[in-house]
Chains A and B, each alone.
Chain A
Amino acid sequence: MNFPKIPLAQWVDHLVDWITNTFDPVFNAITGFIEGLLGNLVTLLGIGPSILLILIITLFALYTSRWGVAIFTLVGLLLIDNLGYWDATVDTIALVLSSVVLTIVIGIPFGIWASQNDTAKRIITPILDFMQTMPAFVYLIPSILFFGIGVVPGILASVIFAVPPTIRLTNLGIREVPKDLIEATEAFGSTTGQKLFKVQLPLAAPTILAGVNQSIMLALSMVVIASLVGAPGLGAEVYRAVTQIKVGEGFEAGISIVIIAIILDRISQNLRKPLFGNIINKKIVYSVLAGLLIVAYAAVAISQAKPDKTSSKNVGDQVNYEITGIDPGAGLMKSTEKAMKDYGLKKDWTLKEGSAAAMTAELKKAYEKKEPIIVTGWTPHWMFSKYDLKYLKDPKGSYGKGESIHTLTKKGFKQENPGANKILDQFFWKPSDMEEVMVDVQDGAQPEKAAAKWVKSHKQEVGKWTKGAQKGNGKEVKLVYVAWESEIASTNVVAKVLEQQGYKVKLQQVEAGPMFAGVADGSADAMVAAWLPTTHKDYYDKYKGKFEDLGPNLKGTKLGLTVPKYMPIDSIEDLKK
């Protein structure tokens, strides 16, 4: 049986393309709405000195929960403030609150629907299973295409991930209302609405709130993942720490998330029956809180309203003064920060963090609509083969000269495995070679297959790499690489060549920091992915002396701000206008 592969991926791609193009105005409206909402919320929460909000939250914790929780809240929040994560915490709280509001607005009606209608329940249940088991990362991909990078796809991915418990428990709570009570409401001639609002929902309230509590926890657990597409907050701090292996900072940001999680959990659990609900009626407290929030929010929203600027032809206005970046830990991001300083862009412009995948998705979206966009780009990258792009000139040299990609091995690898070491040492190719593989991969080929195809059609070059190297006879070589398209291509090609020579190759995909750490501590044998002297400078310096540098395997890379060719600017200096 030789069935052709079902092109599921292509179908999904086409569907997503179609949705992106068809509903673009809707998505833009949603993005604008949520961004505005969230922006105002962040401003509102950050309006006074941090101690003000800390005290309000502490008082509220005291009202709803035990003394212990209140003390924990006070101490925990003061600690976060002291560590310097207050702004990130405000971002995170705003993100979680927005997700939870959306979760409630979406989840409870769906839960009610599922409880009233068995067919609806049969349809919704498998979808919920799907939503909960599908890795949350996957939602980020279409989210970026629909909503661009930033906080909105993060919120929406959080909502998709967090909404199932609310739907499930709303449904369960309503269905668990004793049958004789339902019969009683019906026997007295209640309408469906009366049955729902007078009996079912009040009785299901504890279960529904338990579901909302779970949704809050899930939304919070999504903040780290959401930071991959540029959501700000504690998640971004954690993500940055991971990519740069900063144990201490990672711990600080992590513990901040834990503190927020415990506070949100305890308070939301006790909302229904506050500890001091007897002394001050909860309706009064909640009304006052809600009233204050609405008034303050309205004030913030009005004061934040910006003048309309769509008529302006300025490049900065067209792209909203945003440069779309990649992973926060990348050297390219550091260089971009430097460039923004050098060219005096720091004040007006923001560099959006995200990931390489998110950046290319943004680019794809803008490119197809011929919209202006500025991204942080580098060569070799398949996007240069696929789209007509240009680097902005860098007269001040902020991005330095072109970089090389180096091959590094662990200490003593040469003695341990001279054959493989020789191949790795002789491995050298051109950016155009690499892009050939990258485009294949981008068009849907498996990296191994694309690498094998390249190796097959470039026998002469491969011959040069393997010249004089002894056969492997099953000896193992462990290669690490970072999941950039360029490194996926080069590592797979090298792996293919090593395998042809009889080596058993084990590939491990990690973040940039762990890649260096692995080679430095000897848990990996080698890598062909060190961008020098700029991109990976920090890691290179940090682990210097703990690895062997076999020199460049590719020269002539380039970094810089990249725009589509249809944009009427040529130099970074043009951005100042």
Chain B
Amino acid sequence: MEAKVSIRNVTKVFGKSPKAAVQLLKKGYSKKDILKETGSTVGVNNASFDIYPGEIFVVMGLSGSGKSTLIRMINRLIDPSSGEILIDNEDIVKMPTSQLREVRRKTISMVFQNFALFPHKTVLENTEYGLEIQNVSPSERKDKAMRSLEIVGLKGYENQMPSQLSGGMQQRVGLARALASDTDILLMDEAFSALDPLIRKDMQDELLEIQDSMKKTIIFITHDLDEALRIGDRIALMKDGSIIQIGTPEEIMMNPANEYVERFVEDVDISRVLTASHVMKRAEKISPDRGPRVALQIMKDQGYSSIFIVDRKQRLLGAVTADDASMAIKENKTIEEVMNKDVLTASEDTLLSDLLEPMANTNIPLAVIDEEKRLKGVIIRGAVIGALAGNRDGLNGKEDDE
């Protein structure tokens, strides 16, 4: 797939002698040494990556890691010291002002951490600002603004002033303003960081929903790994201006590139990252026509207390415990007559956190099935507990070439 945005060797140095600092960076000096040597601060150091159409690309890092600087270079609110930034294959760094203005109007819009709403304009006027400065006719821009206010669920608030709204609603206005311009790319600079945790979750869900229907390219900045893992298709992790690792949430979690990333991901609520597929084991299963004696024999051999029953197409039918099988032998019943058909199931991408409750309510392992009810594996309590305890050795690594 062709990249929507390409960042190529982009460096930003703040201070009086950026050129000297860029030279030192090339020689491999660290951010600290350069500050000491030249008094210049390295904002972003030689960042290179591609962002593909329709993906949510999250840039994550602690305060001061250069992520805000990076995102602002994409629409050139900050000029890079060196490097190229290609948007639809055009280098924005070399653009003259008028062309840059067009790109900002038509291609990239932005949502800000502290909302950056104009306090002297109503919600509607704020929303249509991007269109207003393009001299779009009042009726047309009102239509578009009303539509994007509807998308973010703020219909009816258009004549309020921003100060009359809650934080969450203000950020919806910010989002609506960005959506009204109908740009391909959406830059979101810690857009939800100023909101309280509950509203933040709602907004994340809403963003995912909007993204589902609008298919924009979203570049999202956050310092919150949970948020990154929740919404990011891919994540870039930054430290001291450099990009340390880029990958899917699973890759970052499971194969931290270095100790720093490992420490960074350590505190994450792992149950919200790992899915059933990470902890499931191969399932012991038999077809119901084998009879209870065979089932009991397999259980004895393998040391299990239960076994899953599948049809010939591997579709899950139910499960029998050792007790069920013994009873069937005594009463001369078939497996189908004694098996428990209401087996609790999960899909492969169910989060661990959502597995905990069903696990507690059943004495047989949880069955993992796909959309066609085919049994893919089982989850036993020990594996879940091990994973939550941080024991990654027991996890099923996802193949990189999926």
Contacts and interface: CB of A to CB of B under 8 A. Distances in A.
A190 B135 CA distance: 11
Interface stretch (A176-184, A231-239, A452-460): A176-184
Contacts of B77: 183, 186-187
Interface stretch (A195-203, A475-483, A512-520): A195-203
Contacts of B116: 178, 180-181, 183-184
B104 A202 contact: no
Contact of A203 (B106, B119, B130, B177): B119
A184 B187 CA distance: 11
Contact of A187 (B75, B113, B114, B117): B75
Contacts of A187: 75, 77, 104, 108-110, 187
A188 B105 contact: yes
B90 to A, nearest CB: 16
Interface residues of A, number: 17
A119 interface: no
A542 B312 CA distance: 132
Interface string B133-153: 110000000000000000000
Interface string B94-136: 0000000111111011101110111110000000011011100
Given A187-B77, A189-B105, A203-B119, A198 B133 contact: yes
Nearest to A183: B77
Interface string A194-212: 1000110011000000000
B104 A188 contact: yes
A188 B130 contact: yes
Nearest to A195: B133
Nearest to B112: A180
A201 to B, nearest CB: 10
A189 B102 contact: yes
Contacts, number: 59
B180 to A, nearest CB: 10
A189 B114 contact: no
A184 B102 contact: no
Contacts of B109: 187-188
B398 to A, nearest CB: 37
Contacts of B103: 189
A148 to B, nearest CB: 46
B107 to A, nearest CB: 10
A189 B120 CA distance: 19
Contact of B114 (A180, A191, A199): A180
B110 A189 contact: no
B126 to A, nearest CB: 9
A392 B112 CA distance: 80
B185 to A, nearest CB: 11
A469 B100 CA distance: 91
Contacts of B242: none
B181 interface: yes
Given A188-B104, A189-B104, 19 more contacts: A180-B114, A181-B118, A184-B110, A185-B129, A186-B77, A187-B109, A187-B110, A188-B105, A188-B129, A188-B181, A189-B101, A189-B103, A190-B133, A194-B133, A198-B118, A198-B129, A199-B118, A203-B119, A203-B120
21 contacts: A178-B116, A180-B113, A180-B114, A181-B118, A183-B112, A183-B116, A184-B112, A184-B116, A184-B117, A184-B118, A186-B104, A187-B109, A188-B104, A188-B105, A188-B133, A188-B181, A189-B101, A189-B133, A194-B133, A203-B118, A203-B120
Interface of B: 72, 75, 77, 101-106, 108-110, 112-114, 116-120, 129-130, 132-134, 177, 181, 187
